[in-house]
Amino acid sequence: MSKEIPYKIYLEENEMPKSWYNLRADMKKKPAPLLNPGTHQPMTAEELSVVFCDELVKQELDNDTRFYEIPEEIRNFYKMYRPAPLVRAYCLEKKLGTPAHIYYKFEGNNTSGSHKLNSAIAQAYYAKKQGLKGVTTETGAGQWGTALSMACSYFDLDCKVFMVKVSYEQKPFRREVMRTYGASVTPSPSETTEVGKKILAEHPGTTGSLGCAISEAVEVAVGTPGYRYVLGSVLNQVLLHQSVIGLETKAALDKYGIKADVVIGCAGGGSNLGGLIAPFMGEKLRGEADYRIIAVEPASCPSLTRGVYAYDFCDTGMVCPLAKMYTLGSDFIPAPNHAGGLRYHGMSSILSELYDQGLMEARSVKQTDVFEAAEMFARVEGILPAPESSHAIRAAIDEALKCKETGEEKNIVFGLTGTGYFDMVAYEKFHDGKMDDYIPTDEELAKFRARLPKVD
């Protein structure tokens, strides 16, 4: 007889994960290494340590160690906002009339409003431990910048954020949250860097892009003694830290004897998806259990479903290493009407490799369908979801409706990465019928693809 499942499963503090899980250790074919953009040779630890903290370089390159103990200082910080609840979506199930059981792992119960804090605190910790003065980063909508500001404030590190100019101007509240945590926030492109000046000279009046902000942040980190650059997604190290999401999810399910059938996550750079699925994919790789795993991306930025698996630049400025990934091309930028986040042109190398091996599915969803799902979810489950997270909601609802047709009582688990409190402009567009569903044509995608770097 199984225990009655509560609305929210909270782990006790002593049940929280004490180690991160490195999925790469269980991959027979490992993800492709980062390459030096000049020589096309694998990046060495020495080369990477100019940009990243030493310990993070180690984590980035380590394909073998299965578990990394989470340092106590980080576990203490986690206790401030974790464990995140695993919520049984009883009200959504009822609304849909589905026999499926829907669960979501809610990562929005912290001021950064998303899962990004899980890696931010780890990266800040290692920077502090190395005796650094500060870190630099970029942020688009501001979730990552907020998370990093919080983490740096906790460890008394300086934090320099380059914020895509259009967001800096349109999202002043995110900027103020970062300032509350003591970060300096510079609109990008800026006159404070060489690459910024160059871009401004070439494109006066540009409102910036994520790729451009990355280039500025890297330049400042490399050029300022005592500073390193940190990134909130895509990298192996980030997926390692985010495995805490999946480990908690799995522990909560196991506590009630629930076996997931489908695991669903939204996918931009891959940090949430990679973290959520880690222990499930691990069992799959080891042949211990099987799960359907679904990556959900926006139809306007469809790297997995319509990109190619190739080496590409991680940034527009082409100063970063090359990563092998499903990519749309490093100068691809989603249409300006796209409000749903998940705008990165590529996808984490780990996830790209797993997808290429057929170990997970991917689907793209249209923007208005995403916001319809978001609004339905908000009304019945109470939480106003981030547009990013709502991609996963859309897919979870679609899977639950399939179960309604077939009568299957499947366990559907999805990641609710964050809240949409700073995304009300997008919701307003949706309410006012001003949102549309632009999808890039094959010709457009081919144009960006033609500019991929040539790597033998």
- Strand 227-229 with 134-139, pairing: parallel
Structure tokens at 103: 């669960």
Torsion angle, CA of 117/123/129/135, rounded to 10 degrees? -100
Asked if 245 and 115 touch (Cβ cutoff 8 Å), the reply is: yes
Q: How far is the CB of 400 from a second copy (least distance, A)?
A: 18
**310/384 with CB nearer a second copy:** 384
How remote is the C-alpha of 86 from its chain's centroid?
19
For the CB of residue 216, give the shortest distance to a second copy in the complex, in Å.
Answer: 23
| Binding residue for a second copy, selected from 1, 2, 3, 12, defined by CB under 8 A | 12
Distance between start and end Cα atoms, the chain: 58
292-298: strand order across its sheet: 8-9, 86-88, 101-106, 411-416, 262-266, 292-298, 361-365
Residue pair 279/246 in contact by the 8 Å Cβ criterion: yes
Binding status of residue 434 toward a second copy by CB under 8 A: no
User: What SS3 class is residue 2?
Assistant: coil
CB of 185 to a second copy, least distance (A): 11
Choices 8-16, 17-25, 195-203, 263-271; region in contact with a second copy by CB under 8 A: 8-16
The rounded distance, in Å, linking the Cα atoms of 330 and 448 is 8
C-beta of residue 98 within 8 angstroms of C-beta of residue 404: yes
Our CA angle for 293, 396, 392, nearest 5°, is 75
Nearer residue to a second copy within complex by CB, 214 or 392:
392
Q: Which is nearer to a second copy, 24 or 394 (CB)?
A: 394
To a second copy, the closest distance from the beta carbon of 373 in angstroms equals 13
Asked if residue 121 lies in contact with residue 135, where contact means CB atoms within 8 angstroms, the answer is: no
C-alpha distances in Å from residue 243, one per residue of 115, 215, 275: 11, 27, 4
Please state, in angstroms and rounded to a whole number, the distance separating the CA atoms of residues 159 and 161: 6
Among 6, 42, 223, 226, binds a second copy (CB under 8 A): 6
Question: Of the listed pieces 129-137, 207-215, 335-343, 418-426, which binds a second copy according to CB under 8 A?
Answer: 418-426
Nearest approach in angstroms of CB 245 to a second copy is 17
Instruction: Pick between residue 354 and residue 384 the one whose CB is nearest to a second copy.
Output: 384
How far apart are CB 243 and a second copy at their closest, in Å?
21
Q: At what angle do helices 367-381 and 387-406 cross, to 10 degrees?
A: 80
Question: Per-residue b/e over 366-381, b at no fewer than 16 CB within 10 Å?
Answer: bbebbbbbbbbbbebb
Distance between CA atoms of 238 and 71, rounded to whole angstroms? 15
Give CA–CA dist 419/115, Å, rounded.
10
Contact range with a second copy by CB under 8 A, out of 171-179, 246-254, 301-309, 357-365: 171-179
Q: Segment contacting a second copy (CB under 8 A): 129-137, 306-314, 421-429, 438-446?
A: 421-429
Q: Which residue has the tokens 């792992």?
A: 105
Within positions 125 to 164, which residues make up the interface with a second copy, using CB under 8 A? Answer: 150, 153-154
In the window 52-111, what residues touch a second copy (CB under 8 A)?
76-77, 79-81, 90-91, 109-111
Q: Which of residues 224-283 bind a second copy (CB under 8 A)?
A: none
Q: Among 20-28, 180-188, 343-351, 403-411, which window interacts with a second copy (CB under 8 A)?
A: 180-188
The site that binds a second copy (CB under 8 A) totals a number of residues, namely 44
CB of 8 to a second copy, least distance (A): 7
The smaller minimum CB distance to a second copy, of residues 40 and 79, is found at 79
- Is residue 172 at the binding interface for a second copy, with CB under 8 A as the rule? yes
Taking residues 358 to 397 in sequence order and writing x for each that binds a second copy by CB under 8 A, - otherwise, the string is -----------------x--xxxxxxx-------------
Q: Assign residue 208 a region: left if phi > 0, alpha if psi is -120 to 50, beta otherwise?
A: left
Taking the complex as a whole, the smallest distance from the CB of residue 85 to a second copy amounts, in Å, to 9
Residue with smaller CB distance to a second copy, 283 or 372: 372
Residue 173 contacts a second copy per CB under 8 A: yes
Contact residue for a second copy among 13, 69, 254, 409 (CB under 8 A)? 13
The answer to whether 177 contacts a second copy (rule: CB under 8 A) is yes
Nearest C-alpha neighbor of 346 from the set 321, 327, 320, 322: 327
Q: In the 8-state DSSP scheme, what is residue 280?
A: H
Residue from 50, 289, 401, 424 binding a second copy (CB under 8 A): 424
* Residues forming the site for a second copy (CB under 8 A): 6-8, 10, 12-13, 76-77, 79-81, 90-91, 109-111, 113, 150, 153-154, 172-173, 176-177, 179-182, 375, 378-384, 419, 421-422, 424-425, 427-428, 431
